[in-house]
């Protein structure tokens, strides 16, 4: 049973593009379908954690809107943060899923029983993934992952049934 989903941000919750406003502020585009997937997982008792190498006010705002308390930004050692989360939340690797799209996210994969990559992830992540979503990062990939996790946990009806491809 998956009790925690650890997410990267750029390329997973967003399409990986970076937008800068006229005053240098960083803007990000999030998909509302991913947000609903996260809320469905939370409703089913799955903890959502974000572990990102970057930080931005836009990400902090989105995490707050979704009720994600485990927001870890500017992280250099993703494996260490994930291990600390697992210890503090008493969630072993066997109950952990991780979703990432690029090489730094392989560190998250190492500590997870279920490794998920968006459809447009780098080849190394796709090769290491147990599940490759049918949608790209920032375009519903997290929703695909959520549906799969809910089905694994016996809650498929909550999400409307599985809609993901296995990699």
Cβ contact 30:53 at 8 Å: no
| Domain encompassing residue 123 | 4-166
| Banded model confidence at residue 19, pLDDT cuts 50, 70, 90 | confident
Residue 86, burial from CB neighbour count under 10 angstroms (0-12, 13-18, 19+):
buried
Tokens 């979704």 correspond to 66
Per-residue pLDDT, averaged over 94-108, amounts to 97
* Neighbour-count burial for 29-52, b at 16+ CB within 10 Å, e otherwise: ebbebbbbbbebbbebebbbbbbb
Domain CATH code at residue 154 = 3.40.50.1000
Q: How far apart are CA 9 and CA 73, in angstroms?
A: 10
**Three-state secondary structure call for residue 54:** coil
More confident residue, 162 or 21: 21
Q: Is the pLDDT of residue 165 over 50?
A: no
The total domain count for the chain is 1
Residue 132, burial from CB neighbour count under 10 angstroms (0-12, 13-18, 19+):
buried
Per-residue pLDDT, averaged over 40-46, amounts to 96
Q: How far apart are CA 19 and CA 128, in angstroms?
A: 30
Whole-prediction pTM: 0.91
pLDDT tens digit sequence for 47-99: 999 999 988 888 999 999 999 999 999 999 999 999 999 999 999 999 999 99
């Amino acid at each position: 049973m998956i009790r925690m989903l650890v997410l990267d941000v750029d390329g997973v919750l967003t399409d990986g593009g970076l937008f800068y406003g006229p005053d240098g502020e960083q803007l990000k585009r999030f998909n509302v379908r991913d947000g609903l997937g996260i809320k469905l997982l939370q409703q089913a008792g799955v903890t959502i954690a974000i572990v990102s190498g970057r930080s931005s006010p836009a990400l902090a705002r989105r995490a707050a809107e979704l009720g994600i308390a485990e927001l870890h930004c500017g992280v250099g050692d993703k494996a260490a943060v994930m291990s600390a989360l697992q210890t503090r939340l008493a969630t072993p690797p066997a109950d952990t899923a991780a979703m990432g799209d690029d090489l730094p996210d392989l560190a998250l994969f190492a500590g997870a029983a279920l490794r998920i990559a968006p459809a447009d992830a780098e080849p190394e992540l796709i090769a290491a993934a147990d599940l490759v979503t049918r949608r790209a990062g920032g375009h519903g990939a997290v929703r695909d992952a959520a549906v799969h996790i809910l089905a694994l946990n016996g809650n498929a009806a909550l999400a409307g049934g599985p809609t993901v491809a296995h990699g």
